[in-house]
Every structure is written in C-alpha cells, then in structure tokens.
Amino acid sequence: MSTRSAPGPSSGIFRRKPPGETDVIEHGGGLHKALGVWQLTAIGLGAIIGAGIFTLAGAVAHGAPGSPGVGPAVTISFVIAGIASAAAALSYAEFAGMIPQAGSAYTYGYAALGEVVGWFIGWDLLLEYTAIVAVVAIALSGYANFLLEGVGVHLPNWMLGAPGTGDGHRVDILAVVLCLLIAVLLNRGIKSSARTETVLVFVKLALVIAVIVVGAFYFKSGNLTPYMPNGFGATVAGAATVFFAVFGYDAMSTAAEESKNGQRDLPRAIIWSLVIAMVLYLLAATVLTGMQHWTKIDTESAFSSAFQSVGLTGFADVIAIGAIVGIATVLFSFMLGASRIWYAMSRDGLLPGWFAQTHRKHKVPHRPTWIVGVVSAAIAGFTPIIDAAELTNIGILLAFVVVSAAVIVYRYRSPDVPRKFKTPGMPIVPLIGIAFSIYLISQLATITWIRFGVWFVIGIIVYAAYGYRHSKLHQPTP
C-alpha cells in the first residue's frame, strides 16, 4: 500500500519529501502504534539520563590522556551543552508536531532542505547512534564489574576493557553482551519493550534523586576549589564531550510513527524530558564534585567510588545496581533510534527496501536492529569510552544545526502547514542552537573530524551509487 504524493517543487538531489508522505512495505506491514506521552517521555529520559551522570560526568571532571579534566566546572560544561540542546529541542518540537514520522532529523531535513541533506543526516546518525550505544555499554560495563568485584567475582584482565584502557585489556566482554541483549529486547515488539523501558526509567529517576539527597550530606565545599582548574577553554571542550548526554529527545522522536497521537504528544515529551534531565544533571554533578576531589574521581564508576570513599559501601553497591538498570535504558533508546532511522531511509528507497520489512508478528524493523546490535557490540568491545563519545557528538551537533536551520526555512517556505507547537523567538532561538552547536563542533579533537570525514566519504559513494537512483521520489508517480 502506498500513500505517496507527488514530489515537491525541487528536483534532483534537493527534491523534498512532502510531510505526511508514507510508504508501507507490504511484506511485514508498518509499525505498531502503541506509545502514549508517558512512554515517549520515558524513552526520552531513558536516552538522556544515563552515562552522562553515571560515567561521563566523572570522566570529564577527572580528564583522560589528551583531555584535561575540567574539575568541578563540569557543571558549567553541562549548562553550556544544555543551552545548545534546549534551543535545538524547541526546533525538534515544532517538527515533531508537524511531521510525526519515523526518522527524526533525517525526516525533517528531507522535508525542509531536500533529499541530499536528509540523506547525510540520516547516514550520519546511523553511525552516531550506534556509537552512542557502544559508549553507554562501556559505561554500564564499568558499573557491572564494580558490582561483581564487590561480591568476590574477578574477571580476567583481558575481559575488562578495550585495548589501551588498562594492563592486559583486550576486549570489554560485558559491554559486548549488553549490546546484544538490548537487541533481543527491542525485537520483542515496541509495546512490551517500551513497558519495560518505562519501569526501568522510574527506577533510574528514583536512584538519581537518592544519590543527590544522600550525597548532599557528604558535600565539602573545599573540593570545589579550584572550580575551573584548567581554564574556560577546557570547560567548553568538556561541554562538547558531555553534549551527547543531553540530546536523547532526538532518539525519542525517531519513534514518532509508533506513538498514538504523535502531533500532540511528541512536542510535550521532548520538552518535559529535557527539563527534568537537566535539573537532575546539574544537581548530581555538583554533588559528585563536592563529595570527592575531582583528581580522585573514578572515570568508570564515579558515583559508586565516591560513596565508597566516604564509607557508604552498601549504598555504593545500590548505586552500581541502579546504574546498571538506568544506563540500560539509554542503550534501549538509542538502538531504537538507529533502527528506526535505518527503517525510514530504506522505506524511502535511499537504502535497500529489505531493511524496511518489519517482523510479521512483532511489527519492528528487526534486521536493522540486529545489525546495530552487532556493530555496537564490536565498537564497545574494542574502543575506549572517550574516543567513542567524541565520535558521537560531531554527528548529533550537525543534526542539531540542520534541524535548527530547517525549522527556519520551513516556517517561511511552508507557513500554512498546521503546527501543533511553534518554536518561540523565531528565528533567534534556532540561530542560538546553530551557533552553540557549531562552536561545540569546533572544540572536538582532530581525530574525531578524520573519523567523521571517512564516514562522510563513504556516504557520498553509497548515495551516488544507490540512494539517488532508487529514491522513491526518483520513481514515476503511480
């Protein structure tokens, strides 16, 4: 069945996909609409709150070889990243209310700026989301190992991390297993997996609040001095690294076609999830750096180690268990996002339609889900967390630039399209999102640009060889 409308006024690589256009692959059918506003908000919070609190906050505060620690100013890093994220979030909310379809930034860019822009954002996000799953799996592995050691189980060194992360490390086996387990969960169907995600998110929020309240009793103001030990430049660079911790609403918006009333619920869920997450991030990061001096923070299990350092070993174990539960929700959200973007691109003809065929029983794009699960497992097993985190950020920042620019263009190009939510302060707010995102991109390491450039070149080849000719908008309208 096809409800494809005629192509827009543009042609060639800048042809635009009209909003509301969908194509359902007959074999397997479409996606199952089962998500309400609370489930969507839970997916957003599941993506936002996780490694950003439990691992990256500590890793960025302490620093790593080649990345100087920002110290207590990690809270400022979160503020900078949060401002950029909020400006872009309002742009996402406007598009989500207009175009409640799978694909998020890919779909929005395709509709407003043209096929080639949509292609590159979609291609970019496939890599970024898969890398994010890997980053979070590595973070989760650190807490799982902390818990195992607490009960006397000591894994051999070669299984504890990627090469170069420690003495004798060869592979992070726990991270590999976690990626594959999430793929299994997602392939059970969106209704049952989203129900599991919602429960785990509430457990995670309760844990974060408990960490903030209990940790506040062990807060020492002397640990906040010096507040910005390596200067403002390091703090901004830290914002570029922690940025991936504050944009989970992007992954949530990829599930638009599985929502019951996407035009109404998606904008609400985007804003609610970001506001809740930012408040908790700032409080938790402040408590962490107040409990333990930034030079002593453990980069893999920051909060568990901090509470252990003040004699609360039992509570440290509770945090480790809660972190495992909480961070798992991030794996769920971003693997969901990657598979839905892949599904949308394949349905539009830019990638083979074989990937858009959903499972007959569970109505999920099972093939992309398994591929993302296996690839993320490989990255998680053999890549240090800081390298993987920086790789994710450049793509998401570019997606924010595109969506913020697209909402301006689309507001003036198609002013009569019904909008359930309008970005306030047009065009100033989207321009703030663009400016912040570009600035944060400029702070990323050279190696990050090189890796992104290689993926970009591969994308050019794939689009030229396959996507352009097989695009549904390239085919004659029936």
Query: pLDDT tens across 216-263, in order?
Result: 999 999 999 999 999 988 898 888 778 767 777 777 787 777 888 878
**436: helix, coil or strand?**
helix
Give the model's pLDDT for residue 11: 64
Residue 464 lies in a domain: no
Give the model's pLDDT for residue 370: 93
CA separation for the pair 317, 198 (Å, rounded): 23
Residue 311 lies in a domain: yes
pLDDT per residue as tens digits for the range 47-85: 788 656 776 788 889 987 667 889 999 999 999 888 878
Residue 62 lies in a domain: yes
Give the model's pLDDT for residue 329: 81
Span between the terminal Cα atoms of the chain, in Å: 12
Residue 107 lies in a domain: yes
CA separation for the pair 284, 289 (Å, rounded): 9
Instruction: Tell me which H or E stretch contains 63.
Output: strand 63-64
Task: Looking at 151-230, list the stretches that DSSP marks H as alpha helix, in order from N- to C-terminal side.
Answer: 173-186, 190-216
What are the distances in angstroms from CA 159 to CA 26, 175, 310, 344, 375? 44, 10, 29, 36, 18
For 433, the token pair is 């999102």
Residue 236 lies in a domain: yes
Instruction: Count up the domains in the chain and report the number.
Output: 1
CA separation for the pair 119, 15 (Å, rounded): 11
Query: Which residue ranges of the chain lie beneath pLDDT 70?
Result: 1-11, 19-32, 50-52, 55, 65-66, 165, 244, 362, 386, 389-391, 393, 475-478
pLDDT per residue as tens digits for the range 402-428: 999 999 999 988 888 888 889 999 999
**163: helix, coil or strand?**
coil
Residue 71 lies in a domain: yes
Question: CA-based Rg of the chain, rounded to a whole angstrom?
Answer: 21
Domain that holds residue 246: 34-456
Residue 359 lies in a domain: yes
Write the CATH number for 247: 1.20.1740.10
- Which is nearest to 142 in space by CA: 120, 173, 182? 173
| 343 and 365 Cβ atoms separated by less than 8 Å | yes
